[in-house]
């Protein structure tokens, strides 16, 4: 498929997507906000006063959702290697979550608190080479788990995006070693043809 044909197909898909129109009407920065809203409502993931760590946050759609939910008594720390325009009451750190400097910045913002909820909507730039895409996807998943183990409180929750590859099921089983309950979710806003899904891991344990 030519680049022009691929671009035309993408625009056609976007024009038919009801969540794109809803995103524009609601003022969200990404349609992924509706995925998070559904998951939060289904699994009761976010409450006033909570501390939320949002990984891969840019352009900010998920932070826009959780900010009002945790309210002024809560705290949202968003992290991404890409810049993100400011969002009211959201603390943004531009950097790799595994870098020492970023870890120090997260600890500074959290103070004496730990996260109640760690979010990860991180996804690799796809190359079309399956083995490479799988390796990149799982590397990001491992990174999200590593950050969660550093900053999540006991019995806290990790919500992360995964892609179904050969090694994905093994990673999900690894999550079960660190959480009491691990459930797969496919929000309505996830396109049917996509191999993405979400995991809600609750009851963090060391």
Active site amino acids:
161
Q: Is the dihedral of CA 119, 77, 191, 140 positive or negative?
A: negative
Burial class (CB in 10 A: 0-12, 13-18, 19+), 110: middle
* Separation of alpha carbons 28 and 13, rounded Å: 19
Tokens of 122: 């991180």
**In degrees rounded to 5, what are phi and psi of residue 166?**
-60, -35
Q: Number of C-alpha atoms within 13 angstroms, CB side, residue 173?
A: 5
């Amino acid at each position: 498929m030519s680049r022009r044909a691929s671009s035309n197909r993408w625009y056609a898909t976007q024009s038919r997507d009801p969540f794109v129109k809803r995103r524009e009407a609601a003022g969200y920065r990404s349609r992924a906000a509706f995925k998070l809203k559904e998951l939060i409502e289904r699994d009761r993931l976010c409450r006033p006063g909570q501390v939320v760590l949002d990984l891969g946050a840019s352009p900010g759609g998920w932070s826009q959702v959780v900010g009002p939910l945790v309210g002024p008594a809560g705290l949202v720390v968003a992290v991404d290697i890409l810049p993100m325009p400011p969002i009211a009451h959201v603390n943004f750190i531009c950097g790799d979550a595994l870098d020492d400097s970023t870890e120090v910045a997260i600890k500074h913002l959290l103070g004496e608190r730990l996260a109640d909820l760690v979010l990860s909507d991180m996804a690799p730039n796809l190359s079309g080479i399956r083995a490479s895409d799988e390796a990149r996807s799982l590397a990001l998943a491992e990174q999200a788990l590593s950050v969660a183990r550093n900053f999540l409180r006991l019995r806290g929750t990790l919500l992360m995006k995964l892609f179904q590859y050969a090694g994905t099921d093994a990673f999900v089983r690894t999550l079960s070693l660190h959480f009491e309950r691990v459930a797969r979710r496919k929000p309505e806003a996830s396109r049917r043809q996509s191999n993405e899904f979400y995991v809600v891991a609750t009851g963090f344990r060391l």
